[in-house]
Chains A and B, each alone.
Chain A
């Protein structure tokens, strides 16, 4: 494993593993509440943070975290209050965020769109020591929330109205989900890039669903899948000199297709087993009773 002899590859692999864990871990709740594209929106908003980081000579990772957390909270507030025009407000937030990023980075001394590219599509080999520290801290927060509060987040994401009646702080949990998603976006920014972040949040979950019946199994398999593709993509990019972000996303989609193909015969087997276990509920064929009773009479 000569690949591990280089410090930059050690950092890259560590960052990749953390993204492989955190992106599907929060993504599963977004998919459950049918907001699969929320990560994409946050990614757009985070660009303003990166631009501001360059302009103010701050760490772009921390600045992006700050701005995307604010953006995610704003999105959640729009979802509460702006029910009818919510989608238009979100569109303005997304594209405003993107335009802001391009504007700020061009205003920064010596800044150009070239700096932005490494954040848009990821740049694993340039992950620095301080980036790794930031990524580790942020990833720890994401794991703590998504695992520690899994029952609460499951209930709120499954049925918000019902969750309210169990006394859960629904608004606080919704905000926490949004903030955690924003943090995950910045964790993944250096690995797969802001434009591809959402893929790692959604596709491993979609792939795992092809095989699973329970939420717990879907969670475990999508995280395992996330880690596999991020390591696989990073190693491939090292040996083949291809961009890691794109490699990781294409591998994930490949895994989805493979699992979908495997799932079809599995689903058929399960359906047969279910029918065998509950023959009364799901008779395989239509049965016509030999004698007809009064209940069968159809009035005209």
Chain B
């Protein structure tokens, strides 16, 4: 792990419509770190990630990727992104390979995929255990398999930084384990990861740091909360010690 910041947000504010969603977020992810962004629905964790990739405009603050201001950042082959989706399908049938190949465009010149690019797509499919479904239509896949395709698409560019928005949502247990194993290999190979999560789940052992958002502010930034004793029970409401006295319990969903 080095001191180099791969993602850096300083005082980032953003609005959706005219409603403020982020109220000055500071977040720095260093090379090799695995950071989980946690928080209840509406806390701004997805919006934070979407400002990083430029999908949501910021009204104030600075964002840097690999030390370059995001506006001037062009080296997108270094970033793999898994958006929050329940399906990889569009309005027209497409095979698993066709969808995953899109992820390689950041490394391809003028949209032309060469032999090395096709091999990278193949490796990405192997990593998520979908190589045998390469020629199948994505419409024929289960929810967990859709998620594996979306992750393969992000891995096809062989990125140094993975940004994933709720990769475990709606994923069956078998696929969750495949995804956790895939991520473990990426982390072992030195990848930096920023994950938006609703619950730590099977990824818990991988996570170095947890950042908890609430109402568009950073509430906690440090080691992931440990589930012990009473807290380990399902359905437990997580009351964070940093919360102001008398605040209603924040339901991070970490333990439910």
Q: Report A's interface with B, CB cutoff 8 A.
A: 28, 31-34, 36, 84, 149-152, 154-155, 157-159, 161-168, 205, 209, 212-216, 218, 270, 274, 277-278, 281
Contact = CB atoms under 8 A, between A and B. Distances in A.
A166 B93 contact: no
A151 B105 contact: yes
A218 B92 contact: yes
8 contacts: A150-B111, A151-B113, A164-B54, A166-B102, A213-B93, A215-B98, A218-B92, A218-B93
B91 A214 contact: no
Given A163-B102, A168-B105, A213-B137, A158 B94 contact: yes
By secondary structure, the B interface counts as loop
B8 interface: no
A190 to B, nearest CB: 28
Contacts of A36: 91
A151 B97 CA distance: 12
A164 B136 contact: no
B93 A155 contact: no
Among B53, B88, B91, B136, the one with the most A-chain Cβ atoms within 10 Å of its Cβ is B91
A165 B53 contact: yes
B136 A213 contact: yes
Among B50, B55, B132, B163, the one with the most A-chain Cβ atoms within 10 Å of its Cβ is B55
Interface of B: 17, 50, 53-55, 74, 76-77, 79-81, 83, 85, 88, 90-95, 98-99, 101-103, 105-106, 108, 111-113, 132, 135-137, 140, 142, 153, 157, 163
A155 B108 CA distance: 13
Nearest to B145: A281
A80 to B, nearest CB: 11
A165 B81 contact: yes
A270 B88 CA distance: 20
Nearest to A270: B140
A214 B53 contact: no
Contacts of A154: 94, 98, 102
B105 A159 contact: no
By secondary structure, the A interface counts as helix
Contact of A162 (B92, B142, B153): B153
A212 B85 CA distance: 24
B92 A166 contact: no
A249 B162 CA distance: 47
B93 A34 contact: no
A159 B98 contact: no
Given A158-B102, A167-B74, A209 B92 contact: yes
B232 to A, nearest CB: 14
A151 B94 contact: no
A212 B140 CA distance: 12
Among B83, B93, B108, B157, the one with the most A-chain Cβ atoms within 10 Å of its Cβ is B93
A271 to B, nearest CB: 8
Among A28, A32, A36, A213, the one with the most B-chain Cβ atoms within 10 Å of its Cβ is A213
Given A151-B101, A214-B137, A166 B106 contact: yes
B63 to A, nearest CB: 14
A158 B95 CA distance: 12
B117 to A, nearest CB: 10
B157 A166 contact: yes
B15 to A, nearest CB: 13
A33 B53 contact: no
Contacts of A215: 92-95, 98
Contacts of A167: 74, 76-77, 105-106
Among A32, A162, A163, the one with the most B-chain Cβ atoms within 10 Å of its Cβ is A162
Contacts of A155: 102, 105
Contacts of B81: 161-162, 165
Nearest to B85: A159
B98 A216 contact: yes
Contacts of B136: 213, 274
A213 B135 contact: yes
Nearest to A216: B98
B94 A214 contact: yes
Contacts of B101: 151
B91 A165 contact: no
A28 B113 contact: no
A213 B95 contact: yes
- A-B pairs, 7 with minimum CB distance: A167-B76, A213-B137, A165-B81, A155-B102, A166-B106, A151-B111, A32-B92
A211 B211 CA distance: 48
